[in-house]
Amino acid sequence: MAVSISRTVRVLAGVALSGSAVFLGCAPGDAASGGRPTLTRLEVIDVESPTYEGRSFGDVGTYEVIYATAWFTLDPADRRNALITDIDKAPRNADGMVEFSTDVHIIKPVDMSRANGRMFYEVVNRGNKGGFNGVGDNDPSLSAAAGDGLLMRQGYAMVWSGWEDERLRPRGDHGVVATLPVARNADGSSIVGETIFETIFDDTTDSTFTLPFYKAASLEQPQARMLVRNHTKWVGGPLVERAEVPRSAWSFVDESTVKINRRDPFLAPYDAGAAFELIYQAKDPTVLALGHAATRDLVEFLRHDTSEANPLRGAIQYAISTGNSQSGRYLKDFLYWGFNEDSQGRKVFEGMMPVVSGAHGMPLNERWGDADATGRSYERELTSKLEFPFTYGVQTDAVTGFTDGLLARCQTSDTCPNVIHVDGANEVFLKGHGLLTTDGLGNDIELPPNVRVYQVASVQHGPAQAARPTATCQQLTNPNQSRPHLRALLLALDAWSTAGTLPPASRHARVGDGTLVPSLPQAGMGFPEIPGVRYTGWHVNVAVKDKTSLPNRFIEGKEYTVLVPKTDADGNDLAGIRTVEVQVPIGTYTGWALRRAPFAEGEDCALTGQFIPFARTGAERAANRDPRLSIEERYASHAEYVTKVGEAADRLVSEGIMLQEDAESIKQAAAASDVRR
């Protein structure tokens, strides 16, 4: 293999950076298993060494960041690639191969002999990195971006790569995207087809929006339709059913822009929270699932290529992956379609940790797919991929009669990873979490031995840093934190996947012990009657969909049973990982929230939960007719509160679902708080 390396060095802000270009000068050859490695060139754009302003991390020392572009040449006939939708319509090179590229960011120890032999691969969410180090920051040039440095202190090599196309997800500051081909007809002309885009403005002025994924095939589309509604069956009223918006109230501005005239008399009954759906003829679908192939083949290269072109050569024995929300759905889709098998039939990842994805999949491996589509009670409920198979184990669905599971393909190829699946309370209501652990008819199922499911009690989708009001929700945001548990579970996944150390048993609500119940009636669910707090029992609808036309529709009589966690007398979840905030509460924490007027009042407030504080004193509680004990009645003193927090934190550490360092931080925060001062 011929490898050419050119290197330049420059100094920026006192830190030495290197720029280099590394080329793999060989054509991919067939492997013994019949597979074909596809990463054909790795171009290193820049190297910052050391990064994080030279900060050192324990025995591991300093880290450096590598910014690169990976180029792939994929055989569309390989069985691992042939299942990619529209790969047969992607442009080919002279050898009949499909070419594409992706951004790659690698943060690794400068001295790889100090690394721990593990790759931490984080699926980017809309091109952005996450925050297992206590912060979320795309830019590693500043020391603060490392947070408390948990992953660096452990010695991980950290990798991010793009999977969404740059035309669909523009590259942000230090963001990570891919450049994927557009499918074409055999004569090279644009593929045209019907698709749908949905949006809520939370605004009643003239509203212009961009079609973020697929351009309009033409501006003259007499068959295009726009639908609007304001509410679902949960809220009722005259604006439940979809109504067609007259063409006098909307128009194409250009192939990527649509304008709605909210002053049109037809739209007068609809408030700021109205949900709009545009059904139109689009053009030029991207071959989206090539993003899965990019992840698969990049990780294979970094783990197994022994040439000088590989910056991690010989250093990685295991790979652990995680993804949050959108990227958690990506991981499950990656697993479902069999991409955890590399070109030599090996596992790509030994461990996977999808976070806050619920029972949702991702409509990536299909034409006109939408990686953002995630169901809510009246937005995107019909286009999100909330459909069988919901769970990991292979089972026969009582509603459809189909047999499938997220592990079906990897079981056939013997490439299944260990899976730690983590959701919060928001995913119970918004993303059908209960369908992961039930049969769809309301009965518990047994999870496969390589799968653990944890439900973090009473947390919203992305925990707030503090309880604050929002523009559209009725209550304060929910600051109940899940991060301490995610950090502990990530390290537990590592130990499970590399050393066989079993993690804690799954923790989630169950039908059998009475903690997973219908959301109505309210008394059966256990949520208290709190003055000023509305309870509707809403959750996302889940049913088999008729996809013969847009918008899809639910098929009557083909509904799934969606259950939710029962709460204690305070309204906090009884089951799952009960956080310190839930065990030693100062209020009620919910995963669900409701919108306020004039923003589709009573509908779900999407990813937000609620914090409803307790009264400070017994007298205040009595005056408010609040059934929940006041803080004064719960904790005799500030010292007692701090003691109880410490006991709860220590208990979670002993159970293996919190790190000692995070427990100490929680104790310090309790000591500094004003509770009962």
100 DSSP 8-state letter: E
φ and ψ of 37, to 5 deg: -60, 140
Query: pLDDT by residue (tens digit) across 193-216?
Result: 999 999 999 988 889 999 989 999
* Least confident among 12-21, 378-387, 457-466: 12-21
* 441 phi/psi in degrees, rounded to 5: -115, 5
Is the pLDDT at 376 greater than 80? The verdict is no
- Smallest Cα–Cα separation from 435: which of 539, 582, 331, 554? 539
Would you put residue 275 in left (φ > 0), alpha (ψ -120 to 50) or beta? Answer: beta
What mean pLDDT is predicted for residues 281-303? 98
Confidence of residue 21 (pLDDT cuts 50, 70, 90): very low
Q: How does residue 10 score in pLDDT terms, banded at 50, 70 and 90?
A: very low
pLDDT at 32 over 70: no
Q: What is the pLDDT of residue 174?
A: 82
- Average pLDDT of 429-458? 97
* Residue in this structure with the two tokens 């070419």, named with its chain if needed: 99
Task: Name, in order, each residue with C-beta under 8 angstroms of 429's C-beta and a sequence gap of 6 or more.
Answer: 519, 538, 539, 540, 564, 591, 592, 604
pLDDT over 50 (residue 7): no
By three-state DSSP, how is residue 450 classified?
Answer: coil
Would you state the pLDDT for residue 129? 87
Output the pLDDT for position 169.
Answer: 83
pLDDT at 28: 37
Which is more confidently placed, 9 or 240? 240
Record the pTM: 0.94
- Find the angle CA(139)-CA(141)-CA(147) to the nearest 5 degrees: 70
Is the Cβ–Cβ distance between 326 and 363 less than 8 Å? no
Q: Report whether 565 contacts 239 (CB < 8 A).
A: no
Task: Report d(CA 491, CA 656) in Å as an integer.
Answer: 10
Contact in structure between 544 and 554 (CB atoms under 8 Å): yes
Residue 297 near residue 348, CB atoms below 8 Å? no
H helix runs in 190-289, sequence order: none
Q: How would residue 33 be classed by pLDDT, with cut points 50, 70 and 90?
A: very low
Token pair recorded at residue 329: 């759905």
Total Cβ atoms within 10 A of residue 317:
12
Asked if residues 52 and 85 have their Cβ atoms less than 8 Å apart, the reply is: no
Confidence band of 24 (pLDDT split at 50, 70, 90): very low
Taking the C-alpha atoms of residue 637 and residue 631, their distance in angstroms, rounded to an integer, is: 10
3-state secondary structure of 557: strand
Instruction: Give backbone dihedrals phi and psi of 657, rounded to 5 degrees, phi first.
Output: -120, 20
pLDDT number for residue 137: 67
Tens digits of residue pLDDT in 547-585: 999 999 999 999 999 999 999 999 999 999 999 999 999
CA distance 660 to 658: 7
- The percent of residues in the chain predicted with pLDDT above 70, rounded, is 94
Whether the pLDDT of residue 500 is over 80: the answer is yes
C-beta neighbour count of 565 within 10 angstroms: 27
Of the chain, the percentage scoring pLDDT greater than 90 comes to 86
pLDDT of residue 136: 63
Q: Mean pLDDT across the chain, nearest whole number?
A: 92
Q: Please give the pLDDT value at position 4.
A: 27
Question: Looking up tokens 């790569």, which residue turns up?
Answer: 161
- Location of structure tokens 């909307």: 250
Q: Is pLDDT above 90 for 510?
A: yes
Domain range summary for the chain, segments of one domain joined by +: 3-182+288-371+389-421, 192-283, 635-677
- Which of 21-35, 143-157, 197-211, 331-345 has the lowest average pLDDT? 21-35
Q: For residue range 176-194, what is the model confidence (pLDDT) as tens digits?
A: 999 999 999 999 999 999 9
The letter for the amino acid at 246 is P
Question: 243-264, pLDDT tens digit by residue?
Answer: 999 999 999 999 999 999 999 9
| 167 band by pLDDT with thresholds 50, 70 and 90 | confident
8-state DSSP, 494: H
CB neighbour list of residue 407: distance below 8 Å, 6 or more residues apart = 335, 392, 393, 394, 416, 448, 450, 451
pLDDT at 234: 81
pLDDT of residue 35: 65
Residue 494 confidence (pLDDT): 98
pLDDT at 416: 98
pLDDT of 359 > 80? The answer is: yes
Residues 602-611 have a mean pLDDT of 95
pLDDT band for position 266 (cuts 50, 70, 90) = very high
Secondary structure of 404-418 in HEC code, one letter for each residue: ECCCHHHHHHCCCCE
Whether the upstream peptide bond of residue 551 has omega within 30° of 0, thus cis, is yes
Q: Give the sign of the dihedral formed by CA 646, CA 647, CA 649, CA 653.
A: positive
Confidence of residue 9 (pLDDT cuts 50, 70, 90): very low
Nearest-angstrom CA–CA distance, 603 and 524: 21
Q: Answer with the residue of higher pLDDT: 15 or 302.
A: 302
Comparing 87 with 378, the larger pLDDT belongs to 87
Q: How far is CA 447 from CA 57, 251, 438, 453, 585, in A?
A: 38, 50, 10, 8, 31
pLDDT value of residue 506: 98
Contact status, residue 386 vs residue 202, Cβ threshold 8 Å? no
Which residues, other chains included, contact 673 with Cβ-Cβ below 8 Å and sequence gap of 6+? 638, 641
User: In the numeric block, which tokens belong to residue 611?
Assistant: 């914090």
SS3 labels along 25-61: CCCCCCCCCCCCCCEEEEEEEEEECCCHHHCEECCCE
Within 10 angstroms of residue 666's Cβ, the number of other Cβ atoms is 21
> What is the C-alpha separation between 633 and 628, in angstroms, rounded?
10
Per-residue pLDDT reduced to its tens digit, 378-412 = 788 888 899 999 999 999 999 999 999 999 999 99
Cα 320 from chain centroid (whole Å): 16
Please answer whether residues 271 and 230 qualify as being in contact, where contact means their C-beta atoms are separated by less than 8 angstroms: yes
Ranking 45-59, 159-173, 512-526 by mean pLDDT, the lowest is 159-173
Residue 549, Ramachandran bin (φ over 0: left; ψ between -120 and 50: alpha; else beta) = beta
29 confidence band (pLDDT: 50, 70, 90): very low
Tokens for 367? 């034409």
CA-wise closest residue to 53 among 134, 148, 140, 177: 140
